[in-house]
Amino acid sequence: MTDSPPNPPSDRSGQILRALVAQYIRDGQPVGSRTLARASGLNLSPATIRNVMADLEEFGFVAAPHTSAGRVPTAKGYRFFVDTLVQLQPLAADDMTRLQSHLASDSSGDAKSVAEAASAALSALTHMAGLVMLPRQMQLTLRQFEFLPLSNNRVLAILVVNDQEVQNRVLHMDRSYTEGELRRAANYLNEQFSGQDLREVRLRILQEMQGMRETMNQLMVDAIAVAERALDTGSERSEFVLSGETRLMEFDELSDVEKLRQLFEAFGAQREILNLLDRSIAADGVQIFIGEESGYRILDDCSLVTAPYRANDQIVGVLGVIGPTRMAYERVIPIVDITARLLGAALNSSQ
C-alpha cells in the first residue's frame, strides 16, 4: 500500500478529485476543467478548477496523459479516493438475488463447486474477472511418496495427495539411483511428512536443504534431493478458481494483445495472484491493491479487491475481483464483501 501524501487535498480539492475519479471511471476519457465545473457540484469557474487540478497534479493524485488538456487519476489518486472519498453503494435487491441464486445453483455441496459458483457470480455482477481461493481444506495434503528408477538418471515420482489423488512426475536427477535407495528415501519422507500440507512440506524440505545438509546421513541427503525435485515441479492442481478473465478484454486500457497475454499467463501460473491472496487472508475485511501496489508489473494497470471468507468461524480462503484501476470501487467493494459472507454461509450449510 502507498503512504499517505504529506499534503492531502483540502475539502474542496477532495470534492473535485472525487468528481474527477467518478467521471473518469464512467467515461474512460481525460477529464477537463469545464466538465468538472459541471460535475463537481461546486460553484467554481473553470479557471479555479484548473488551479485546483494543478495542485492535485503536484501532489501526484492526477496526471495529464500526453498533450491532453484533461487529467486522469493516478494510482495515488485512486488510493486517496478509496481510503477517504468513496461513497459505497448498497447492493441492489436484484443483484443480491442474482448472487444468492448463483451460490444456491450448485446442490452438490462440494466446496470446489461452491467456490466456482462464487467466482462466476463475482464476474457476472462486476463484468470483470472473479476469483476464489479454494478453501484450505481443499488444498493438497501429502499422503505418500513413491519413487521408481528410470533410465538416464531419471526417477518417476508418484505423489498421493488428499485421499485418492495421484500425481506422477518424471524427475531428471544429477545421478542414477537404485531401487533400494529410492525405497529407503520414500520410507523416510513418508515417516517425516505424511499428513502435512504439501506447501508446508516443500518449505520444510527447502529449509533442511539450506541448513542441515552437513549433518545429514546419506539416506537423508538422497531423500531430500528427490523430494525437492518432485515438489519443485509445482502442483498441477489449481489453488484458486477464476471466471470471466476474457471480460478484461473489453477495457481499452487492458486490450493490448501483449499485455493480455502476459496477464493470462500470470493467471495460469497463479504464483503472483496467490501471493496477493496470501497477503489478504489474515486481513480484517476488504483489501484493495491498486496498480503498482501489487508489486507485480503485469498488474500495474489492474486493481484487485479482495475479502477473506470464513467457515466454522475460521478464515479458510480469500475471494476477489480483478479489473482495471478504472473500476467502480463504490459498487465492487460491497459486492466482494457480501459475496465473501454468502460464500462462508454456503460452505457452512453444505457441511
Question: In this structure, how many other beta carbons lie within 10 angstroms of the beta carbon of residue 116?
Answer: 19
Report the SS3 class of residue 212.
coil
CATH architecture of 142-232: 2-Layer Sandwich (3.30)
Give every residue of the chain whose pLDDT is below 70, as ranges.
Answer: 1-9, 67-68, 105-109, 136-139, 208-216, 232-238, 350-351
Q: With beta carbons less than 8 A apart as the criterion, state whether 109 and 347 touch.
A: no
All CATH 1.10.10.10 domain ranges in the chain, comma separated? 11-85
Per-residue model confidence (pLDDT) at position 105: 64
What is the amino acid identity at position 67? T
What's the CATH number for 11-85? Answer: 1.10.10.10
Q: Report how far Cα 283 is from the mean position of its chain's Cα atoms.
A: 13
Which strands form 129-133's sheet, in the order they lie side by side? 240-243, 129-133, 314-324, 302-311, 287-290
Report the SS3 class of residue 278.
helix
List pLDDT tens digits, range 232-254.
Answer: 644 444 578 899 988 998 888 88
Q: Report how far Cα 46 is from the mean position of its chain's Cα atoms.
A: 41
Whole-angstrom distance, CA of residue 302 vs CA of residue 83: 17
At residue 196, φ and ψ (nearest 5 deg) are -100, 155
The pTM is what? 0.70
Taking Cα atoms as reference points, which of 141, 133, 183 lies closest to residue 316? Answer: 133
Per-residue model confidence (pLDDT) at position 214: 57
All CATH 3.30.390 domain ranges in the chain, comma separated? 142-232
Q: Extract the C-alpha cell encoding 8.
A: 492531502
In the block, which residue shows the cell 476464489? Answer: 132
Per-residue model confidence (pLDDT) at position 229: 78
Domain 93-138+239-350 in CATH 3.30.450.40? The answer is yes
